[in-house]
Amino acid sequence: MCLRLGLLWSCAANSVAATDLRRLVRTDGPTTRMSIGWRQTSGTFSHVQYRVKQSLGSWNNETTLVQHNYVNTVNGLTDPLNNSFVKLIGLTPDTDYEFKICDTDGCSQSYTWFRTAPASAETISFIAGGDSRRESSTDFSANDLARKNGFKLVAKMRPLFVLFSGDFMNDGTYSEWLVWLDEWQLTKSSDGRMYPIVPTHGNHENDVLDMVKQVFNVEGPAGNTANGTYNALSFGGDMLRIWTLNTELEPGVGYSAFQSQNSQAWNEQTAWLAGDLQAHSEVTWKLANYHRPLRPHTSGKTEGLLRYSQWAPLFDQYDVDLAIESDSHMVKYTLPVNYSAAAGNDEGFLAADYALGEHGTVFIGEGSWGAPKRPIDDDKSWTLVSNSFWQFKHITVSPAALDVRTVRFEASSYPADVDADVVALSQAEQDAAPGALAAGVDLWSPFVGDGPLQLPFTVLPEVKEDANLVSDDGGSVEIPEGALYFNNFSSGFSSATYGDIRLVDLGCNDTSSSNWYNFNGQKASINGYNSTAADPDENCNDWMILPPQDLSSRSAITLTFDSDYN
């Protein structure tokens, strides 16, 4: 039990706080502030104790509490998920702090600490990725394993922060968030260090307008109406600034709670982006982070409209160096490119003439932190290399260079498990070499010489001949979400050619409500996103699910219909 004695708190020696699902969040001021989040399972919050790590000095106490009782009434259970937050302010840059969460039952006993960001230019490394959701089927064990392997690798690699680009789980239900936040505890290193997340709103967070704010207590620019779902953070003074944006604000793009929005929030975000880019034009490295790509590299995804026509010119005007994208569940590096409608452009971009010093934005991505993998069937003339596997990016930034490496976590990447196959970096090792990699990580090495993708571009990396070869990991093949064209659901199939194929008439219900068909636990949708009765774009007799895939080389295969094709 903890009691307040004047300005001080006194806790019984063996009492323990009733908290779990702990997380750190970079919301603002990464050099001097840190947001600490948790779930309060019983008792009443009293304070957070914190002090410089291993200083043995007096504890500082912070008592200001923010709580969000999150409920998703669109999908799943409506149990409120308690999310409690305290923000520590006035911290010293580039300093380690230990902390405890205290309530009327006691204080947390497991040793935990974090590091604030540097205020001056020095080498840092961070992890960037997204799309950790599951298959929409009864068997999502492979997705869960990949997601957890990625979390374990965070603990081994010690990033300054994790830039997570959205689509945490399928719908953001109470039960899904319990799973995700519980598994996030795997990111804690064996010495107690925790790593802050910079969360991004993806389309699978669309059931609740402020889902990311309620779960992570993110903050946005003053006066915005977008529920804190976009912001910017600086690291190392003017060395690095990252703009995290919300692609679901684009009119006509978002669904569920975002389906009927007007352009106000989108216009506010774009105006803020332009103004903030201009205000920070002297920053050495400028990075954009968001969920839906401007130009996806898998054909089942629609091209960006406003996010291309309004953001790409800003990226050019203010020399954005790197754009980190997700959503498509595959892997890509591009050449530096410029927004252009000139002859020779490919989907509105031309490769920059970097040999002559022309600046361009490099696009990397696209998600794949455990979500269903998709084919690489929409490369551009300016695509440098692409592939499809589970991964995140390890990015090292110094005043002179920015290096991007892709860390794989396929089923075959760590045969004996991440814990056994990867040797964790010690804090002393990382302090001596901030860009160091943990021994045993499975790196994708698409370039001759096995070096990273390095900015600024000075020479064209030579791509290996097999860099785009998609491996059949463990003998399993993941079919993209949608693979066949049905014509009246009754013709066009030959059992002699394709083997035993079950024909299922999914029926027709061309109304404004969703119509679902379930077979052996698998779910397919009819007019699942149709908002208008008798919508002419929804033809009940002809249903197209994209992208197509050639299955002729497979002797036996099971197709799973996934309604969450967005």
Q: How far apart are the first and last CA of the chain?
A: 49
66 pLDDT exceeds 70? Answer: yes
Higher pLDDT, 162 or 136: 162
* Confidence band of 2 (pLDDT split at 50, 70, 90): low
- Cα→Cα distances 166→80, 109, 328, 400, Å: 22, 31, 12, 29
As a whole number of angstroms, the distance between CA 206 and CA 75 comes to 11
CB 142 within 8 A of CB 48: no
Nearest to 85 by CA among 185, 218, 226, 220: 218
User: For the whole prediction, is pTM greater than 0.85?
Assistant: no
- AA letter at 378: D
Phi, psi for residue 481 in degrees, rounded to 5: -75, 90
Higher pLDDT, 473 or 485: 473
Predicted pLDDT of residue 79: 77
Average pLDDT score over residue span 309-331:
97
Average pLDDT score over residue span 385-410:
97
49: three-class secondary structure by DSSP: strand
Nearest to 484 by CA among 538, 526, 537, 544: 544
Nearest to 363 by CA among 317, 415, 296, 307: 296
Predicted pLDDT of residue 546: 33
Predicted pLDDT of residue 18: 84
Nearest to 179 by CA among 128, 210, 145: 145
Predicted pLDDT of residue 73: 87
Residue-level length of the chain: 566
260: three-class secondary structure by DSSP: coil
As a whole number of angstroms, the distance between CA 41 and CA 103 comes to 11
pLDDT digits (tens, 9 = 90+) for 354-393: 999 999 999 999 999 999 999 999 999 999 999 999 999 9
Predicted pLDDT of residue 516: 34
508 pLDDT exceeds 50? Answer: no
**Of 14-18, 88-92, 562-566, highest mean pLDDT:** 88-92
Predicted pLDDT of residue 534: 43
**Please, what sign has the CA dihedral across residues 387, 126, 403, 335?**
positive
512 pLDDT exceeds 80? Answer: no
- Cα→Cα distances 270→224, 363, 406, Å: 11, 19, 30
As a whole number of angstroms, the distance between CA 150 and CA 411 comes to 12
Predicted pLDDT of residue 380: 97
* Confidence band of 14 (pLDDT split at 50, 70, 90): low
556 pLDDT exceeds 90? Answer: no
145 pLDDT exceeds 50? Answer: yes
- AA letter at 305: L
Nearest to 395 by CA among 111, 561, 198, 173: 198
Calculate helix-pair angle for 174-184, 141-157, nearest 10 degrees: 40
480 pLDDT exceeds 70? Answer: no
15 pLDDT exceeds 50? Answer: yes
Average pLDDT score over residue span 442-466:
95
**How is residue 453 written in tokens?**
């993708």
Burial 433-454, CB ≥16 within 10 A → b, else e: ebbbbbeebbebebbeeeebbb
CB 420 within 8 A of CB 438: no
pLDDT digits (tens, 9 = 90+) for 191-212: 999 999 999 999 999 999 999 9
77 pLDDT exceeds 80? Answer: no
SS3 content of the chain, % helix, strand, coil (to 5): 15, 25, 55
**Please, what sign has the CA dihedral across residues 83, 86, 91, 96?**
negative
Mean pLDDT of the chain: 84
**How many CA atoms are closer than 13 Å to the CA of 563, on its beta-carbon side?**
20
Predicted pLDDT of residue 535: 43
442: three-class secondary structure by DSSP: strand
Region class of 327: left (phi > 0), else alpha (psi between -120 and 50), else beta: left
